[in-house]
Amino acid sequence: MERLRYNDPVNDHPQHLDVDKTRGLTVQWSDGKTSFFPIEYLRKMSPSAEARMLREEMAKNPLMVLPASMGNQKGPLTAVSAELVGNYAIRFEFSDGHSTGIYSWEYLREIEPDAAKAAQKTRGQ
């Protein structure tokens, strides 16, 4: 299984990244915390303009029909590739063809699955 590994001693960056193309991204942060982002979650939360607009539309209308391109995936969703973008982000190409989202370290902290669950509980959802 191919994996992308990244080590960086600079503060405010991940200390270590581990991409398992079938499972997800594990990030060890400089503050000692470890976060796991499943592949499906990363795809759903893509920071690309197209994905952001789709999330906004779905929030307004939960019964919205998804675009045909969202249903063309054959087999499980995987990361075909992952590459570092400078020293501030990572970009994935997914098996459904999506590859335009650049996940900055700051954005990954914002969408961290455990933090998102905690925020929902705080809001009473």
Domain contains 35: yes
Q: What confidence tier does 67 reach under pLDDT thresholds 50, 70, 90? A: low
The percent of residues in the chain predicted with pLDDT above 70, rounded, is 74
Residue 85: predicted pLDDT: 96
> Which has more confidence, 116 or 19?
19
CATH number at residue 41: 3.30.2020.30
Which CB contacts under 8 angstroms, 24+ apart, belong to 71-80? 72/96, 72/97, 76/22, 77/39, 77/40, 77/43, 78/21, 78/22, 78/39, 79/19, 79/21, 79/22, 79/39, 79/42, 80/21
Domain contains 122: no
Q: What confidence tier does 9 reach under pLDDT thresholds 50, 70, 90? A: very low
Q: pTM score, two decimals?
A: 0.75
Residue 10: predicted pLDDT: 45
Per the prediction, the chain carries an average pLDDT of 82
Segments forming the whole domain that contains residue 102: 3-60+75-113
Residue 118 has pLDDT above 80, yes or no: no
Domain contains 120: no
Q: How many domains does the chain have?
A: 1
